[in-house]
């Protein structure tokens, strides 16, 4: 995928991909922990912070990617 104006991508584009990939890994790990019967119980395990943070990071990553692409199209 080439940039039509020949400009470099913004750093926020790459930050978005890192957030998306790490959020997906944490979300999948949280889903695995949710489905495994012999998991270790922690103090606040019933809140499932890995699911919440994984989803939050993945959504944030998608927003960063979309908004940085929009900014590049506008010329910003």
For 57-66, the pLDDT digits (tens) are: 999 999 999 9
- The answer to whether position 5 is within a domain reads no
Domain count within the chain: 1
Binning pLDDT at 50, 70 and 90, where does residue 8 land? Answer: confident
Question: What is the reported pLDDT for 76?
Answer: 60
- The answer to whether position 37 is within a domain reads yes
- The answer to whether position 3 is within a domain reads no
Please give the mean pLDDT across all residues of the chain: 88
Q: What residues make up the domain containing 35?
A: 11-74
- The answer to whether position 26 is within a domain reads yes
Question: What is the reported pLDDT for 60?
Answer: 98
- The answer to whether position 21 is within a domain reads yes
At 20 the three-state DSSP class reads helix
């Amino acid at each position: 995928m080439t940039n039509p104006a020949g400009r470099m991508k913004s750093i926020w584009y790459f930050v978005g991909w890192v957030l998306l990939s790490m959020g997906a890994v944490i979300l999948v790990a949280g889903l695995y922990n949710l489905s495994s019967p012999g998991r270790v119980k922690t103090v606040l395990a019933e809140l499932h912070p890995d699911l919440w943070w994984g989803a939050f990071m993945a959504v944030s990553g998608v927003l960063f990617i979309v908004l940085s692409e929009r900014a590049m199209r506008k010329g910003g």
